Amino acid sequence: MTWICQNVEVLCVSQKDGSLQIRHCPLFPQELADQLLHTLADEGVLDDKTVGIFQNLEALRLRQAFIRSSRVSAEAFRLSLCPHKLQELNASHIHSDITISDILHSLSSNKHCRQGLHSLLMNGLNLYGETGEVGQARFSALRGLKNLSVAWTDLDDTGLEDICSLPMLESLDVSGANVTDLTPLLNCQSRLRSLTVHGIQKLEMSTASLLSVLDKLHVLRHLDISNDRLAFVEARPGMRFIGLLATGAGGSGLMLTDGNLKVAGEANLTQVCEALRRYSERESLLREVLVHLYKYTSEIERSQPDILKLVSEGMRHHTDSLHVQLVATACVFNLTTLELVQGMPLHLLETVVQQLLTAVKNFPNYEQLQKNCLLTLCSDHILQVVPFDRYEATKLMMMLLENHEDQTLQRMAVAVVSILVAKLSTEEISELGAEVFIMKQLLSIVQQKASQGVVDSTLKFALSALWNLTDETPTACCHFIQCKGVELYMELLESYFSESSIQQKLLGLLNNVAEVEELRVELQDEELVEHLLTLLINPAVDVEVSYFAGGILAHLASAKGPVWGLDAELLRTVLDKLHSSILTWSYPQREMVSYRTLQPFYQLLQVCEYSGVQLWALWAVQLVCSQNAAQYCSILHTEGGSDILKVLSSHPDTHSDVKSLADNILTMLEQHLVGPGSKYLASVAGVS
């Protein structure tokens, strides 16, 4: 359903009025039609165009219409939704000029809605438009209404009187409205079971008068009057809910008993969760709830997905509230630390991560909020396992790095970027590589750390990110050169000579540059080549370092690349040392390197190449095939690498050392791919 919503314009044709209609629309079950509308709203794509698909009443029949926070106008609402036989409508917080009067007028024009609509939510809307259409907003026309919510609207006393004349009204929320007198509630005292009246600032009733009205609501089972101190619950044993947040009354013995009464308060975690569930749409109360929740979750010992879901919903309802996002992100961190995160459903974590990224985007200048979000995101489980848009997240992290110099924030952001880039597709990395500011920012961080002479996680993560960013991405490699990256890396190779992990990352990126044929000339520097030779032949240097040094030299010395522009004797030395050194290398036990493709090696395996160049490429192929045969033997076969190896092995001019290594790989390939009846048998064995 989410995919349909994200691709709705592709699946539709435009009508003359600009609205959309699904091509060859099948008959949707009613529940699926409701779900489609709900998902369009949740995904933020419900507007006058997309809501038009519901003008097809034969294929898409709605009963429960959810258009909260959409951008549907009054006219589109009238044309697309009002003709349906609606039973429930959530039209809260719509981002258009639609008014309560518009909605009531349109619904009243449908006979079925007048009788069959039993739930209507219009929180956060204006009663009338700028012209003040007095007389049109008649709630009493909807005779079947049982549940009505008009919280945080400009509903006045006249509107409340009209509402209280509804013959079937059982649940009412007028929180934050402009009413001054609740006496009209007595007109529905025999049927009103749920009343929410939080934050009515213009109320002109005395406490005694208010209590008198409430006392006459005999069937009331749910009362929310948070922020008001009212003590009459003991006299009403049938009460099922009371909201006492910020009153201090939640700690009384009556409120702490395990009866049927549900309390929204702050006396314990149960009360806080009840408040969190009920007040997710009320910013001021939600902030209060989250402060208490942070306290209760600071030392939580087991995963609480239900609580995390409630926090996420609160964040979604108030994406533009700094105070809500600040405390909510702190609560998210408490709920997802260490092993707690592994007990959370992936779909829930996906939603939470999206909320965190939205917070980072909406409040780019608030460092504490950014840190809260990054503390949660710096989780291997989240970065490696949870599904989310890693490409957009990476760009967001880079923008964050560009805007902040705080060391703690930079350390976390660079760590996130380093892991995310490694998870991106080649196409996504290419798009990132086209953004020169990303290269500049990461190199700036490396330069800063190098000037301090430190070896810390920020430096290592930045180097890893740069290495991954230039993998099979010529544009990024070009930006690296333009940003004076080669000069910087030559300095770092000298200053971090004894740091094997740093050397490997430096050489890995330079190897990526060397793979780009037209950029190899930028690496033809005698000082650099001499340094690489030292790393290649020094037996004290780890093979992980010698390997990448050899790779750069192999590409620079390749017969198929740019003409060698340095001393001819140096070229002979490079080729001789490549050949002799590689024969002494031992394969490491741990995984040393990974590749998306083996294509860069094939050009080094042509029969016209020097033996030292060929040996390096063969050693690399055998390394990955021996450590992960399932992945790399298959890649080698499907990319045609086995054919190149067979040609190389059978050619009379091939050096015996090269032939031996090529034959070893072909044998390994045959053992892995060939079995009884295998389709690979003929091609690997060379049988036509």
Averaged over 483-487, what is the pLDDT? Answer: 96
DSSP string, 20-77: EEETT-----HHHHHHHHHHHHHTT--BTTGGGGGG-TTT---SEEE-TT-B--HHHH
Q: What is the mean pLDDT of the chain?
A: 89
Which of 344, 340, 362, 361 is closest to 352 using CA atoms?
344
Residue 636 near residue 679, CB atoms below 8 Å? no
Q: Mean pLDDT lowest for which of 109-113, 252-256, 516-520, 568-572?
A: 252-256
Confidence of residue 688 (pLDDT cuts 50, 70, 90): very low
pLDDT of residue 9: 83
What share of the chain has pLDDT > 90, as a percent? 67
Confidence of residue 181 (pLDDT cuts 50, 70, 90): very high
pLDDT of residue 131: 55
Confidence of residue 680 (pLDDT cuts 50, 70, 90): very low
What share of the chain has pLDDT > 70, as a percent? 92
pLDDT of residue 29: 92
What would you report as the CA-atom Rg of the chain, rounded to the nearest whole angstrom?
34
Residue 77 near residue 98, CB atoms below 8 Å? yes
Which of 536, 564, 469, 548 is closest to 501 using CA atoms?
548
Kindly state the tokens that stand for 264: 């929204």
pLDDT of residue 683: 45
pLDDT of residue 303: 93
Residue 491 near residue 450, CB atoms below 8 Å? yes
Rounded to whole angstroms, the Cα distance separating 579 from 614 reads: 9
Res. 583: pLDDT tops 60: yes
* Residue 298: HSE in the Cβ half-sphere, 13 Å Cα cutoff: 6
Which of 413, 473, 483 is closest to 444 using CA atoms?
483
DSSP string, 569-608: HHHHHHHHHHHHHHTT----SS-----S-SHHHHGGGSTT
The three state secondary structure string of 99-120 is CHHHHHHHHHCCHHHHHHCCEE
Residue 104 near residue 136, CB atoms below 8 Å? yes
> In the chain, what are the domains?
1-86 (no CATH), 279-385 (no CATH), 389-523 (1.25.10), 573-688 (no CATH)
* More confident position, 231 or 303: 303
pLDDT of residue 214: 87
Res. 149: pLDDT tops 90: yes
The top-scoring range by mean pLDDT among 256-265, 266-275, 603-612 is 603-612
518-553 pLDDT, tens digit each: 999 999 999 999 999 999 999 999 999 999 999 999
Averaged over 240-259, what is the pLDDT? Answer: 58
Rounded to whole angstroms, the Cα distance separating 363 from 137 reads: 38
592-634 pLDDT, tens digit each: 888 989 999 999 999 889 999 999 999 999 999 998 988 999 9
Rounded to whole angstroms, the Cα distance separating 162 from 101 reads: 13
Rounded to whole angstroms, the Cα distance separating 189 from 214 reads: 9
Q: Mean pLDDT lowest for which of 76-90, 237-251, 540-554?
A: 237-251
263: β partners: 242
30-46 pLDDT, tens digit each: 999 999 999 999 888 99
Confidence of residue 580 (pLDDT cuts 50, 70, 90): very high
Res. 687: pLDDT tops 50: no
Rounded to whole angstroms, the Cα distance separating 84 from 50 reads: 16
Averaged over 323-352, what is the pLDDT? Answer: 94
Helix (H, G, I), strand (E, B) or coil at 125: coil
pLDDT of residue 43: 85
pLDDT of residue 235: 47
Distance of CA 567 to the CA centre of its chain: 52
Res. 240: pLDDT tops 50: yes
pTM, two decimal places: 0.69
Rounded to whole angstroms, the Cα distance separating 42 from 70 reads: 8
Rounded to whole angstroms, the Cα distance separating 111 from 191 reads: 24
Averaged over 231-242, what is the pLDDT? Answer: 56
DSSP string, 417-442: HHHHHHHS-HHHHHHHHT-HHHHHHH
pLDDT of residue 135: 52
555: β partners: none
